[in-house]
């Protein structure tokens, strides 16, 4: 049986881990984590995350959480999507802007799909969180991925994720929206965190 101290968040990304710990602090105060870079299937975000969770549950031999993050440009029908890591790596923030130079539509959404898998023989459950916004020229600190080029829709702030403080980002982000669904699931299934 899973418990608050036995669910392991498997990720190779320290920035993700920091955000997840902060957002989940009230539900899973002692979230365990393991730094593993898992192979990732190609395809739709939900399937990528689900397959990642199955692999992680086999490696950890216990209950795991994983997530996969996409950045989807509406003018490009959702691309780069789950391939954003490699686009960012190869063409950088300017290159991401240039991809949209032929289009007037600069809107995009950030998508985070968490998957919880109770163990090696269980089917993962996925939680899809999205945050709408637009792609802008890079502004703000460059320590976390595409944060400088994504300006989320916000009632008052016109800041990129990189320019926001963590609390502000966590209030509206794709990650916090996905984790809100995960929290609901944990509340409906209290046995998981006993």
Ligand X SMILES: O=P(O)(O)OP(=O)(O)OP(=O)(O)OC[C@H]1O[C@@H](n2cnc3c(O)ncnc32)[C@H](O)[C@@H]1O
Annotated binding-site residue? 16: yes
> Does the footprint of ligand X cover residue 69 (CB under 6 A)?
yes
**Kind plus residue range of the DSSP H or E element containing 110:** strand 107-117
Torsion region of 39: left, alpha or beta (phi above 0 gives left; psi -120 to 50 gives alpha): beta
Annotated binding-site residue? 12: yes
Query: Which residues in 107-144 are b (16+ Cβ under 10 Å) and which e?
Result: ebbbbbbbbbbbeeeeebbbbebbbebbbbebbbeeeb
In degrees and rounded to multiples of 5, residue 107 shows phi and psi of: -75, 155
Annotated binding-site residue? 127: no
> Does the footprint of ligand X cover residue 59 (CB under 6 A)?
no
Q: How many other C-beta atoms can be found within 10 angstroms of the C-beta atom of residue 18?
A: 12
Least distance from ligand X to the Cβ atom of residue 178, Å? 11
Stretch that binds ligand X, among 65-73, 121-129, 133-141, 185-193 (CB under 6 A): 65-73
Among residues 51 and 147, whose Cβ is nearest to ligand X?
Answer: 147
Q: Interface mask (CB under 6 A) for ligand X, residues 80-99, using x and -?
A: ----xx--x-----------
Q: Interface mask (CB under 6 A) for ligand X, residues 4-23, using x and -?
A: -------xxx--x-------
DSSP 3-state of 5: coil
Annotated binding-site residue? 129: no
Which residue is it, tokens 């046995």?
191
Which residue is it, tokens 């902060």?
22
Site for ligand X in 135-194 (CB under 6 A): 144-147, 161, 175
Annotated binding-site residue? 143: no
**Neighbouring C-alpha atoms within 13 Å toward the C-beta of 113:** 19
Among residues 36 and 189, whose Cβ is nearest to ligand X?
Answer: 36
CA 89, 46, 12, 163 torsion-angle sign: positive
> Does the footprint of ligand X cover residue 54 (CB under 6 A)?
no
Annotated binding site: 11-16, 40, 52, 68-69, 144-147, 169, 174-175
Annotated binding site for Mg(2+): 40, 68
Annotated binding site for ITP: 11-16, 52, 68-69, 144-147, 169, 174-175
Q: What are the residues binding ligand X (CB under 6 A)?
A: 11-13, 16, 37, 67-69, 84-85, 88, 144-147, 161, 175
């Amino acid at each position: 049986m899973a418990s608050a101290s036995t669910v392991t968040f498997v990720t190779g990304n320290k920035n993700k881990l920091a955000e997840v710990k902060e957002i989940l602090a009230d539900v899973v105060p002692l979230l365990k984590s393991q730094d593993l870079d898992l192979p990732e299937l190609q395809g739709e975000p939900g399937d990528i995350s689900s397959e990642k969770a199955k692999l992680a549950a086999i490696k950890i031999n216990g209950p795991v959480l994983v997530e996969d993050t996409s950045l989807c440009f509406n003018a490009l029908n959702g691309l780069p999507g789950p391939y954003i890591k490699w686009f960012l790596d190869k063409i950088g923030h300017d290159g991401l802007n240039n991809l949209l130079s032929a289009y007037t539509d600069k809107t995009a959404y950030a998508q985070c799909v968490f998957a919880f898998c109770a163990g090696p023989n269980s089917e993962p459950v996925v939680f899809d969180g999205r945050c709408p916004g637009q792609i802008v020229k890079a502004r703000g600190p460059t320590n976390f991925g595409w944060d400088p080029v994504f300006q989320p829709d916000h009632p008052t702030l016109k800041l990129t994720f990189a320019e926001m403080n963590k609390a502000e980002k966590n209030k509206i982000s794709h990650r916090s929206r996905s984790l809100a669904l995960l929290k609901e699931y944990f509340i409906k299934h209290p046995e998981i965190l006993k």
